[in-house]
Structure 1
């Protein structure tokens, strides 16, 4: 008898869960978060990242509305970028300015730009030679990202920034280098893709290892 009651209880719980999903409650809540996040974005982010998130704002701001970026970061990654900012750059920390709800809403708004799923081919282990990576960096990356990853205004991200290195994984740096970002200065670098640079996987790993070596410097 107990087993029958337990089975009925499980069926009822499953039925309730299915009803909740089918009711559209979650999609409705997400739509509200996106709408609220758009208001926060327009007030706080538009001036740098632009109306469409393409980095076309009046002030310097990177393009965050492209499928390579959106497919390589989690909601938590976007949240950290907004909350903690980038010390010494035009990207301030919004943690003291926005509530947790506002932070999560602007994340929902940015995530809403993602229109497709991309499967990146990335080495299981990203371990390279930072010395060779520095040579490659100075050959291919320094013009936009500056000496030792210092960054250049309206040109390239500050790769040696402590917040960037803390909240960006080697895999994400590898993807950004290999696959680039559509409609930005950052073209693909992986051999076989359309970019001018045709780097091997190992060479990209060397560059990532060099960038990681800048941490704490």
Structure 2
């Protein structure tokens, strides 16, 4: 019996050592991926998205170092955004420039900016009235995102872009509209939040439904490509 107990404890100790060892290996690999991703970011992304990732580059670029944004997207989302780009905008597709390994390293670097995970309260079903959504959009969103989601330089994302519509879920659009993105022009819109707009959940759902009716475009006005 004593030998069995000793053997049992030895197995536990060995298991702990293996787990700690695997954890160290994972941490090391992740650190290597982040370091490699930083080099790729500085070479390919910094000019638009900025040195700190807050969209402060000389050319128009989304703020990636943003806790609201990072809490709404998965690593797969980030991978697809970079790989396929946004056709017709200054965000090119990198599938022919970077390997999948490079893309994963770049995602690891961007994800390392996330220091908290924000939980959002969103409707279970996002299906609204697109007619009312268009009215609300024209009142509150058109000034930055342009007519029919065409976008404006350093003001608002091109919502009618085919890649945006394909790789962005209704939930992600709803969250961004309702909660905004801190430290950017995109303030919160949901009623009771500290934003200039005070829209109901239904209004925001209607806006998302309207955005889904936009005709996907592959080309964006040339002024969107200018710094």
Q: Same fold (TM over 0.5)?
A: yes
CA–CA separation in structure 2 for the residues paired with 1:216 and 1:94: 21
- Residue 165 of structure 2 contacts residue 216 of structure 2 at CA under 8 Å; is this kept in 1? no
Deviation at 1:46, TM superposition (A): 0.2
- 1:108-162 per-residue CA deviation (whole Å, 9 max, x = no partner) reads 0000000001110010001110010000000000010000001111110000100
- Residue 170 of structure 2 contacts residue 208 of structure 2 at CA under 8 Å; is this kept in 1? yes
- Helix, strand or coil for the counterpart of 2:212? helix
Name the residue aligned to 2:186.
186
Question: Following TM superposition, where does structure 1 have runs of at least 4 consecutive aligned residues deviating by more than 3 angstroms?
Answer: 11-17, 19-22
- 1:30-78 per-residue CA deviation (whole Å, 9 max, x = no partner) reads 1100000000000000000000111100111111111000000000000
Q: Which runs of 5+ in 2 are unaligned?
A: 1-7, 218-227
Name the residue aligned to 1:198.
198
CA–CA separation in structure 2 for the residues paired with 1:17 and 1:91: 43
CA–CA separation in structure 2 for the residues paired with 1:123 and 1:177: 13
Q: Which runs of 5+ in 1 are unaligned?
A: 1-7
> Cα 1:14–1:210, aligned 2, differ >3 Å: closer, same or farther?
farther
CA–CA separation in structure 2 for the residues paired with 1:20 and 1:199: 51
Q: TM-score, normalised by structure 1?
A: 0.91
- Helix, strand or coil for the counterpart of 2:30? helix
Deviation at 1:16, TM superposition (A): 7.5
- Helix, strand or coil for the counterpart of 1:101? helix
CA–CA separation in structure 2 for the residues paired with 1:150 and 1:126: 23
Name the residue aligned to 1:92.
92
Name the residue aligned to 2:37.
37
- What's the RMSD between the two structures over aligned residues? 1.8
- Helix, strand or coil for the counterpart of 2:61? coil
Which runs of structure 2 are paired with 1:136-147 in the superposition (5 Å)?
136-147=136-147
Name the residue aligned to 1:157.
157
Name the residue aligned to 1:109.
109
